[in-house]
Chains A and B, each alone.
Chain A
């Protein structure tokens, strides 16, 4: 398996623009997680899905952030409008409850908002 795939790997945008990050989980995994990592706050969970259904979005910073999982093989995290404080590395991870829920992380998307 190719592992968790994220795109783009790097994104530079200007304040106010819409940003869409994409994730393809490992095939067969039933959980998908979106994390954000910054120097100041470390790793934080934004939202997670089980079988494509959002379970906990309490980590989503504000209404500018939204996440969807239209099917088992694809998820998006959208920021609209983007702000400089959104600059961070965004990781997607997936896990299989049937195999103990060890999480497998994607390579991350480094977002810079100017």
Chain B
């Protein structure tokens, strides 16, 4: 069983829809990261969080430490949001090593 699991693996939605991507992990962590990778492109860190919720523009990330679960939400989705979203755990003081999920490929149709 992978330490970090994401769902769904693939998601196609219409422009404007509310998007939710889920991440579950099985180990104790100090921080959880959400990363974005555009086709053929580099990797951008969207959020790093260890509790509660963070918001940046139309993106919201939440984490429930007790349930070992995090969600990434996109409001008013746009075709430019089409990318692979990767969840990773670890990466805080004393635990710099990241373990990655397999990613969720999001496609937003105009």
Quick one: closest B residue to A104, CB to CB?
A: B45
Give the docked Cα–Cα distance between A54 and B2 (Å). 26
Interface centre among A31, A50, A103 (most CB of B within 10 A): A103
CB contacts (< 8 Å) of B42 on chain A: these are: 91, 105-108
CB contacts (< 8 Å) of A42 on chain B: these are: 86, 100-103
CB contacts (< 8 Å) of A106 on chain B: these are: 42
Q: Given A42-B103, A43-B86, do A103 and B98 touch, yes or no (CB 8 Å)?
A: yes
CB contacts (< 8 Å) of A104 on chain B: these are: 45
Q: Check B45–A105 contact: CB distance below 8 A.
A: yes
Give the docked Cα–Cα distance between A44 and B31 (Å). 18
What number of A residues sit within 8 Å (CB to CB) of B?
A: 23
Give the docked Cα–Cα distance between A102 and B93 (Å). 11
Q: Check B100–A48 contact: CB distance below 8 A.
A: no
Q: Check B92–A103 contact: CB distance below 8 A.
A: no
For residue B6, give the distance in angstroms from its CB to the closest CB of chain A: 10
CB contacts (< 8 Å) of B92 on chain A: these are: 100-101
Taking Cβ atoms with an 8 Å cutoff, the residues of B that contact A are 31, 33, 35, 41-45, 48, 86, 88, 91-93, 96-103
Given A97-B96, A101-B48, A106-B42, 20 extra CB contacts under 8 A: A31-B96, A42-B101, A42-B102, A43-B88, A44-B100, A45-B99, A48-B96, A48-B97, A55-B96, A91-B43, A95-B91, A95-B96, A97-B93, A100-B92, A101-B92, A101-B93, A102-B48, A103-B98, A105-B45, A108-B42
